[in-house]
Amino acid sequence: MQAATTPDHRLQDNQKAYEQILDAVRSHVRRGYVESVLRTATVAASFAWHAPTGALCDPELERLVRIAVRGEGVVRLDRRRGNGRVLHVLTEGYAVGGHTRLARRWMERDPRPADVALTMQRGPVPPSLQESAERSGARIYDLREGFPTLTGRAEVLRGLMNGASTVVLHVHPYDTVALAAACLPGSRPPIVFENHADHTYWLGLGAADLVVENREIGRRVSRELRGVPGERLTVLPVPVEQASVTSTRKSIRAQLRLRPSQVAGVSVASPLKTAPIWGEGFDELLARVLPRIPELVVVVVGPAPDGAWSRLQSAFPGRVFPLGVVDGVQSLYPGMDVYLDSFPCGSNTAILEAAAAGLPPVSLQLHRGYAELFSSSAPGLADDGYAQNTEDEYVAALRALVEDRELRRKRGEQARSEVLAAHAGPGWADALEEVYRRAHDVPIADLDEYPEQVRDTDYGGTLLPFILGRNHAPEPARFGEVLGPQMDERTRWDLFVAGQDRSERRLAVRVARGWEDHPAWTMRLVQVAQAYPWLTVSLPPVAGDDRTGARSVHALEPVLAANGLTTDDCGDLTVDVRVPRFTGPVVTGELPVQLESLEALELILSSPLWDERPSSSGAHP
């Protein structure tokens, strides 16, 4: 049974694992291995994104990337590019996903010509993005199609940047390609960093001339927990559209078999946002709310009708409808009366789209401090009209809407008017123009503005439920999946070595029986042991040997002699009747007497991290 760990210990474990990956990045910077720097930095950022350490950025990691790609060169900001073209950069585009939708709508509403660059697209480019690009006259550059290395993509991306007046980054938290491209020497256009992942760790300080937030709490967190200067921060509301729907209220309600007296509340969110992340899920809240408001029925889009939702459905027959994923969810809105924000995590885009459709929103928001990032908030949402701070207030506000049709109509019209004023039409267009103006006025991004990492363990503890490993730091190598084919064996073994305790960085192997029958193979094994003094080799005795080991020595001596060695100076190579107890990492099982096994062993041993001495946290190469 594994002992439970406290949030502080889990954050510390994650930080230790993160520092080990950072050691690999530092090592590659010292040796000038730029591609390896980008690959291991990607893994480090992906790890910190998923395994909270209490920090939402790391200026040192970004400086390591900058040193690797820029050297002694200088980056200059060219504000005079006059073609008006905008380059939108995404790590990946998705058929379903808020940040892809935001980028599409940005392009569609912006009168400027645009292009799209995808740095690490792992699947086909989604048709919706293709269609949006075609309507906007944009070209899509899937960099992975033509450039296998991250270094090559960064260089090509910088060339694409140089053809634009402004660059907008909609990138994932681990995107080293975009960061490296921005840090390459020479002049470049202003770069806008669209902060769609405002609640978590990300790379990008060294590329962000201007950080665009979607809401005020995002601006506060970037200023206080990432150290972004106020002059580099602005807010651009999420672009929202009032969708045209063909469904009628009558047909929707008939499909759900709702009575005329029933008031339908709808909620749209991913299952994660309704799960019991911090102790209680949305289903448990509704189980207390539904008995207190008898005419309320709830339609939930996203979570599947199983598990807790199936039980809630059984407890309230005809009043709970978990529909799973629904294409064109806005087609349901004409049949709905109220929008219920998801709980415990709000769904910002969903509540805005529902409000734009005229549904009065209601939200229970128990988060305080930086955790307000997990509540829905945005320009255009009237604080006194939708956000409730206690469960009793939530029930009272919801009951008032359920019991008063005119109040629903009035609040719905107010929500529609205020949201569309900020998130669509001239209001949004003016805000976009202000973003471009600010981007061309601010100084170039400067990592020296961020002298040290800011850590907040309280907020880090809030993020811990999202971690992939619950009671211990997860293995760093699993976060290399984002690299695709670039997560090669070299990178995998570098991460393996970095993850070992520095005082035990030796690798031990036990050779399979029969080595004496393969003198050439054994000769190569001896050469490997000599080349890498951090290797310990244990040989089993040859068949029929006695306690003196005479036969084994007799078989080994000519192999050693061929390498100019004797049994006295052959390094850490022994003949052992039993497998010894090794300290530190061990090759699992026995090393087969095959060429492939030696090739793999040498690949592991050739990592430069085996003989690296410990480096202090925050040290520069």
pLDDT tens sequence across 404-435: 999 999 999 999 999 999 999 999 999 999 99
pLDDT digits (tens, 9 = 90+) for 437-450: 999 999 999 999 99
Residue recorded with tokens 């029986």: 513
Q: Are residues 415 and 469 in the same domain?
A: no
Asked whether residue 498 is assigned to any structural domain, the reply reads no
In a domain, 571, yes or no: yes
| Helix, strand and coil in the chain, % to nearest 5 | 50, 15, 40
- Weakest mean pLDDT among 156-165, 358-367, 379-388, 526-535: 379-388
Question: Which range among 127-131, 293-297, 497-501 shows the weakest confidence by mean pLDDT?
Answer: 497-501
Q: Give residue 1's pLDDT.
A: 33
**Residues 253 and 400 placed together within one structural domain of the fold:** yes
Q: What is the predicted pLDDT for the residue at 105?
A: 92
Structure tokens, 200: 């978590």
Closest by CA to 379, choosing from 425, 429, 423, 430, is 423
pTM over 0.85: yes
Q: For residue 260, is it within any domain?
A: yes
Domain carrying residue 204: 75-239+431-449
Confidence of residue 504 (pLDDT cuts 50, 70, 90): confident
In the prediction, which pLDDT does 252 show?
Answer: 94
Residue 140, classed as helix, strand or coil, is strand
Quote the CA–CA distance of 387 and 394 in Å, as a whole number: 8
User: Can you tell me the distance from the alpha carbon of 141 to that of 116, in angstroms, rounded to the nearest whole number?
Assistant: 6
Residues 156 and 50 in one domain: no
Residue 614 confidence class, pLDDT cut points 50, 70, 90: very low
Contact of 33 with 149, CB cutoff 8 Å: no
Residue 515 resides in a domain: yes
Q: Say if residue 31 is in the same domain as residue 83.
A: no
Please state, for a pLDDT cut of 90, what percent of the chain lies above it: 74
DSSP output for 117-135: EESS--SPPPHHHHHHHHH
Confirm if 343 and 375 have CB atoms less than 8 A apart: no
Band (617; pLDDT cuts 50, 70, 90): very low
How far is the C-alpha of 412 from the C-alpha of 406, rounded, in Å? Answer: 10
Domain count across the chain: 4
Closest among 225, 220, 177 to 200, alpha carbons compared = 225
- pLDDT-derived band at 382, boundaries 50, 70, 90: low
Contact between 411 and 401 (Cβ < 8 Å): yes
Q: What pLDDT, on a 0 to 100 scale, did the predictor assign at position 243?
A: 76
Residues 233 and 186 in one domain: yes
Band of the pLDDT at 139, cuts 50, 70, 90? very high
Q: How many CA atoms lie within 13 A of 372 on its CB side?
A: 15
CA dist., res. 307 & res. 429, Å (int): 44
**Nearest to residue 419, comparing CAs of 379, 387, 384?**
379
Q: What is the per-residue pLDDT across 318-348, written as a single tens digit (0 to 9) for each?
A: 999 999 988 888 899 999 999 999 999 999 9
Burial class (CB in 10 A: 0-12, 13-18, 19+), 308: middle
Q: What is the mean pLDDT of the chain?
A: 91
Tell me, yes or no, whether 268 and 329 share the same domain.
Answer: yes
Binned at pLDDT 50, 70 and 90, residue 5 comes out as: low
- State the Cα–Cα distance between residues 600 and 252, nearest whole angstrom: 62
Least confident of 4-18, 32-46, 265-279, 359-373: 4-18
**The CATH number of the domain where 90 resides is what?**
3.40.50.2000
User: Is position 319 within any domain?
Assistant: yes
pLDDT at position 500: 82
Q: What pLDDT, on the 0 to 100 scale, is given for residue 498?
A: 85
Q: For the residues 68-92, what does the mean pLDDT come to?
A: 91
H/E stretch holding 77: strand 75-77
- Residue 468: what pLDDT? 57
Asked whether residue 193 is assigned to any structural domain, the reply reads yes
pLDDT (0 to 100) of residue 8: 84
Based on the fold, state whether residues 482 and 520 are members of the same structural domain. no
Please list the residues that pair with 508 across neighbouring strands.
536, 586
Pair (179, 257) in one structural domain: no
In a domain, 555, yes or no: yes
CA dist 320 and 186 (Å) reads 59
Are 190 and 150 within one domain? yes
pLDDT in tens, 207-261: 999 999 999 999 999 999 999 999 999 999 999 987 777 789 999 999 999 999 9
* DSSP code for 339: E
Quote the CA–CA distance of 601 and 537 in Å, as a whole number: 11
Q: Is residue 33 assigned to a domain?
A: yes
Determine the Cα–Cα distance for residues 134 and 589; give it in Å rounded to an integer. Answer: 56
Q: Residue 186 — pLDDT band, cuts 50, 70, 90?
A: very high
Shared domain check, 320 and 227 = no
Ramachandran class of 584: left when φ > 0, alpha when ψ lies in -120 to 50, beta otherwise? left
Q: What is the pLDDT of residue 618?
A: 36
Q: Are strands 296-301 and 210-213 parallel, antiparallel or unpaired?
A: unpaired
Same-domain status, 539 and 591? yes
418 shares its domain with 437 = no
